[in-house]
Amino acid sequence: MKEPCLGIISTIARGELAAVTDVEVCQEILHRYTALGEREQASHVARLFMQLVPEVLPITKADLLLRLEMHGRYTSLQARDALHVAAMHHSSLQLIISADRHFDEVEGIERIDPDMPCDVSV
């Protein structure tokens, strides 16, 4: 998925696609690079990502409580992904760019597969 994701990042960087993220995505970036033994690169990539997508949603207690509900309702939804859905819900967001098909089950969420051509713009 590297090439399609780089295309999405380029679209965001050119201002052709408005994007937001949540703090958990930044945590996932840090976790992945640190697990690969690249702690310094982890911080660098997370900072670059936050420059690209400067609106970073917080995770609140309300998000954590809704996550528990989502985790029970959608059994294929991973725990971290349930947290993304909760943050989206509280921010009235309905579109998510993800290769993870389990988002397709979530009512009120439309998943855009990075590997599929689509017409999403600002």
- Alpha helix segments (H runs only) across the chain: 2-13, 23-35, 39-52, 61-73, 79-90
Instruction: Answer yes or no: is 92 within a domain.
Output: yes
DSSP 3-state assignment of 57? strand
The label of the residue with tokens 């990502």 reads 49
Answer yes or no: do 42 and 78 share one domain: no
| Residue-wise pLDDT tens digits, 79-102 | 999 999 999 999 999 999 999 999
The amino acid present at 3, given as its one-letter code, is E
The amino acid present at 97, given as its one-letter code, is I
Instruction: Answer yes or no: is 68 within a domain.
Output: yes
Give pTM, 2 decimals: 0.83
Res. 104: pLDDT tops 60:
yes
* Distance between CA atoms of residues 102 and 113, nearest Å: 12
Instruction: Answer yes or no: is 120 within a domain.
Output: no
Answer yes or no: do 7 and 52 share one domain: yes
Which band of pLDDT confidence, cut at 50, 70 and 90, is reported for residue 122? very low
Answer yes or no: do 46 and 87 share one domain: no
DSSP 3-state assignment of 103? helix
DSSP 3-state assignment of 111? strand
Would you say 32 and 47 are in contact if contact means Cβ atoms under 8 Å apart?
no
Please report the pLDDT score of residue 115 as a whole number. Answer: 84
* Distance between CA atoms of residues 96 and 111, nearest Å: 5
Structural domain span for residue 86: 58-113
